[in-house]
Structure 1
Amino acid sequence: MQCYVDERKFPGASLLIARGGDEVHFNACGLRDIATGAAFERDTVVRIYSMTKPVTTVALMMLVERGLVHLDAPVSGFIPAFADARVLVPGAVSIDQTEPCDPPTLHQLLTHTGGLSYPFNPGLLSQAMEEQNLLFAPDQGDLAGMCDQVAALPLAHRPGTGWEYSVGIDIIGRVVEIVSGKPLDRYFADEILAPLGMTETAFTVPAGARDRFAALYTPLAGDAMALNEAEKGGDPLRLVDAPEESPFLDTAMRSGGGGLVGTIDDYMKFCEMLRRGGELRGERLLSPLTVAFMRRNHLPGDIASMGPQSFAEQPMEGVGFGLGGSVVLEPGRTRVPGSVGDFSWGGMASTFFWIDPVLDLSVVFFTQLAPSSSYPARPQLKALVHGALVR
C-alpha cells in the first residue's frame, strides 16, 4: 500500500481484514486530500460506486423472500417503458437498426445478461448512452426518469444471450422503490443500513462526516469514466472531484448501481452479514439459504464464455456471476490466488471487497482513484493476503 502511495499511484488507502468475524489486520496510509494534506484514515468517507450493487441486490432479495416479487418477472411489469423492448439486429451499424424482443427479467438485470450497457463500454448502445449522459450520476436528477430514458434505447443483445456490465442494477433500484413503496434511500436506511449499524453510509455524505470525505483522483488526461478514450495525463493524481464541491454533498440521483458513500468499517459490517449467511449481531436481513443462492454462479459458465466486450470490475476467465457479485469458479483460470466460491466486487474508484468461504475471510480495500482498471492492485492484494496465510 505504501509503495502505491510513494509512487503516486494512489493518494491514500485503507485495508481491513477479518477472519472468522475477528479483525486480524487494519492499515491506512497516504492522504485522503492532497490539497489539504489530510490523512487517509479509518473513518474516511469514500465513494464506493459499484460496491453499491450488492446492497441493492440484497434489497431486492429481501422483497423476494417476502413473496412480493420473483426473479423471472419481466421488468416491464414494474417499469412500463420497457414493454416495447427492441434489440439491435446482428451486425447493426446504427442505433436505429433494431427488431422487437422480450424485455429483460429481473434476474437478467441482476446478472448483467439483460442486454443493457454503460456509457463507457464499446458499442452502439454505449455510444448512445454516452451521448445522452445516462450514467446515473449523483447530480443527474430523477431515478424514474432516467430509467425511462434507458428503456427508450434498444438492447445491445437479446436478454440472456450475453454478458455486458450495465446499469441493470440501477434499474433494479427503481424496481425496489416501486415494490416497496419507498424511495431507495429510505428503503436502504430502514431495512439494511440501520439494522446493520451502517450509520455513515448513504447516497449523500452525512452532515457529520463532510470533513472526512475524500477527494477523487484519476491518472487520465480526460474524463475519469471515459474508458473508450482513456489517455494518460501528465499528473497521475489529477483531482476530478473535490470533497468540498462534490455532487455527493447534495445528491439528487438514488443510484442503486453506484451511488453510495461510506466508511470501511460500515462496509465490513455488510460483508460480515453476507459471510454469516444474512445475519449480523442479532439482526437478520436474509435467510442463509437465500445468501447461499446469491453466492452461486448464475451463468451457464464463466463470464468469458458469454462473449463480453465490456469493462468489468473483475477477471472474466474462471469467474462466474452470482446476484450482486462475481464468484470464483476456478482460481487457476483467473490467474489470481483465491478460493473456489470467493464472492466479490469492486467500484470504479478502485475500492474492492471479497468474502472467502474456504478461509473464512472478509476483506475490504478503500482508495479513491478512477478508473479501477488503472493498476493491478486487486490481484496484488489477493496474492499478498494468500501469501500471509500459513494456517
Structure 2
Amino acid sequence: MRESDVVAGLSLERLERISRHLEDQYIRPGKLPCAVTLVARHGQIVWVNAQGLMDVERNRPARRDTLFRIYSMTKPVTSIAMMQLYEQGRFLLDDPVHKYIPSWRNLRVYKGGTYPEFETEPAATTMTIRDLLTHMSGLTYGFLERTNVDAAYRQLKLDGSSILTLDKLVDRLAELPLEFSPGTAWNYSVSTDVVGYLVQLLADKPLDDYFREHIFAPLGMMDTGFQVRPDQLDRFAACYLHQPGDTMKLQDDPDRSRFSKPPRFLSGGGGLVSTIDDYHSFAQALCQGGEYRGQRIIGRKTLEFMRRNHLPGNRDLPALSIGAFSETPYEGSGFGLGFSVKTDVAKSLTNGSEGEFGWGGLASTNFFVDPKEDMVMIFMTQLMPSSSYPVRQELRAMVHGALV
C-alpha cells in the first residue's frame, strides 16, 4: 500500500469498498434509493461519497448537499441543547420533571385495561430529567406497537400529527399512564420531545430559534432545521418505505412533504432535516470535546459526562430494555445522556471501540463518533424503517477495517 493511499491513518482503497458494497448489495438491487457516506479522522474529512438517486421517481442523483430527514439523529442535538442549559445552572439532572411541568406531579403506571379505561397505580419513583435524557422515563412511542399504552399514543397521534404541538404533547402525556416506574427500565420513547419542551421553557424561546442561535449558527450548519426552505427544495430527498421482497415504495414525496411547510410541532425527538456536511460539523464538535473550528457548543467535561453509560449499575440495554426496538444493536451498548454508548466491543459483535457513541434515525440514517480513534462516520439514506437491513453494522466493519 502506497503512503499516498493513506490519509489520516485510513486506507482510501479500503474505504472505497464501502461504495462498491452499497452499490452491489443495496442500490442496484433496489433495496436503498441512495447513500451519502462520510468518514473523518483527526479532524479531517478523509472520504465522502454520494451514490444512487435521492428521488427515484424524478431520476435525481444523490449529491453531497442533498437534504435528508434525519429523524432521531435530532435527539443528540436536543440533548446537547439541554446540557448547555445544565452548564448554566438552569437545572440539575435529579430535578423532578414536575418541578417544570406541574401537571406531571402525580404520574401513574399502567396496570391493565385499554384507553380511555386504563387501570393504573401510583408510580413508585419520581421522574427526573436524567430519566428523560436516558429513555428511562416510562414514556413510550406509538409506533412500537407493543402495549395498550402505546396504542393510546397512536390513537392520540402523539408521535406527530398536523395538529400536535409541544404544549399539547405535554398536556396529553400527563393524562396517560407510564409503562413502568421511572428509572426502573429502558424504553425508546418521546422522552427527547419532552426534553425539547424543557429547552423552550428554560431558555424562554422556541426550540428552532434556540437550536439556530446556540448550535447551528456557531457551527455553520446553514442547511439544518425543522423545515425545508423553498431555496432548498431541489436538494430535498424523497423518502421510501421497505416492502416485502426487499423492494421499496415512495413514503414521502419531497414536493408534497410536511417538511416543506412551517411546522407546528417542533420535535426535538425527530423533527430535523440536514445534510451530511452539516451533521459532520455537529459530530466533529462531539469528537473534539465540544468544539469545532473555534466554536465551542458544550464543555469538555460535560460531554465526557454525557457519553458515559448512565444505565444503573453500568448495565447494558438488554438488561434493562422492556422493548425490542432501538436505533443501535442492544448487546454491549449502554446509554448516556442523549446517545448510545458502546460498553463491550466483543459482546456487541460489531467492530469498534469501547466508548464509541452515536445514534440513528427512522429513515436508516446513522452516525457514530469513536473518541479512541478520533474518528467520525455519518451515513445518510431515506428508507423506513431503520431495521430493514444490517447496513449500519456492515459500515462499522468496513470503516474500522480501513484503519492502518
3-state secondary structure, aligned to 1:120: helix
Partner of 2:301: 289
- Which of 275, 278, 288 is the matching residue for 1:266? 278
Deviation at 1:72, TM superposition (A): 1.0
Q: Does 1:41 align with 2:63?
A: yes
CA distance in 2, matches of 1:206, 1:382: 33
Aligned amino acid, residue 299 of structure 2: S
3-state secondary structure, aligned to 1:129: helix
3-state secondary structure, aligned to 1:327: strand
Query: Percent of counterpart pairs with the same letter?
Result: 46
Q: Does 1:86 align with 2:108?
A: yes
In structure 2, stretches of 5+ residues that fail to align are 1-21
Aligned amino acid, residue 249 of structure 1: S
3-state secondary structure, aligned to 1:127: helix
- Which of 198, 213, 216 is the matching residue for 1:193? 216
3-state secondary structure, aligned to 2:98: helix
Is the Cα–Cα contact under 8 Å of residues 62 and 286 in structure 1 kept in the other structure? yes
Q: Does 1:135 align with 2:146?
A: no
Partner of 1:351: 365
Q: Does 1:100 align with 2:117?
A: no
Aligned amino acid, residue 254 of structure 2: P
CA distance in 1, matches of 2:272, 2:126: 28
Aligned pairs for 1:191-270 (under 5 A) are 191-220=214-243, 232=244, 236-250=247-261, 251-270=263-282
Is the Cα–Cα contact under 8 Å of residues 136 and 170 in structure 1 kept in the other structure? no
Partner of 2:74: 52
Aligned pairs for 1:371-386 (under 5 A) are 371-386=385-400
CA distance in 1, matches of 2:286, 2:181: 32
Aligned amino acid, residue 169 of structure 2: M
Listed one character per residue, the Cα deviations across residues 5-36 of structure 1 (whole Å, up to 9, x for unaligned) are: 01111100100110010111111100000111
Listed one character per residue, the Cα deviations across residues 284-331 of structure 1 (whole Å, up to 9, x for unaligned) are: 111100000011100021011114214110111110000111000011
Go from structure 1 to structure 2 and tell me whether the alpha carbon gap of 1:310 and 1:109 turns closer, same or farther (over 3 Å shift).
farther
3-state secondary structure, aligned to 2:157: coil
CA distance in 1, matches of 2:270, 2:108: 26
3-state secondary structure, aligned to 1:107: helix
- Which of 131, 135, 149 is the matching residue for 2:172? 149
Deviation at 1:143, TM superposition (A): 1.2
Aligned amino acid, residue 171 of structure 1: V
Partner of 2:3: none
Listed one character per residue, the Cα deviations across residues 12-67 of structure 1 (whole Å, up to 9, x for unaligned) are: 01001100101111111000001110011100000000000000000000000000
Listed one character per residue, the Cα deviations across residues 48-105 of structure 1 (whole Å, up to 9, x for unaligned) are: 000000000000000000001111111112222212211113xx35451211124421
Q: Does 1:158 align with 2:185?
A: no
CA distance in 1, matches of 2:276, 2:189: 25
CA distance in 2, matches of 1:9, 1:15: 17
Partner of 2:19: none
CA distance in 1, matches of 2:300, 2:198: 24
Size of the alignment, in residue pairs? 375
Aligned amino acid, residue 290 of structure 2: G
Listed one character per residue, the Cα deviations across residues 211-264 of structure 1 (whole Å, up to 9, x for unaligned) are: 1000000113xxxxxxxxxxx3x6712001000000001122100000000100
Deviation at 1:206, TM superposition (A): 2.5
Give me the TM-score of the superposition, normalised by structure 1: 0.94
Is the Cα–Cα contact under 8 Å of residues 274 and 291 in structure 1 kept in the other structure? yes
Q: Does 1:277 align with 2:310?
A: no
CA distance in 1, matches of 2:229, 2:377: 24
3-state secondary structure, aligned to 2:247: coil
Is the Cα–Cα contact under 8 Å of residues 136 and 143 in structure 1 kept in the other structure? no
CA distance in 1, matches of 2:276, 2:175: 38
CA distance in 1, matches of 2:74, 2:396: 21
CA distance in 1, matches of 2:160, 2:205: 19
- Which of 136, 147, 154 is the matching residue for 1:123? 147
- Which of 192, 198, 201 is the matching residue for 1:178? 201
Is the Cα–Cα contact under 8 Å of residues 46 and 214 in structure 1 kept in the other structure? yes
Alpha-carbon RMSD across the aligned residues, in angstroms, is 1.3
Is the Cα–Cα contact under 8 Å of residues 215 and 241 in structure 1 kept in the other structure? yes
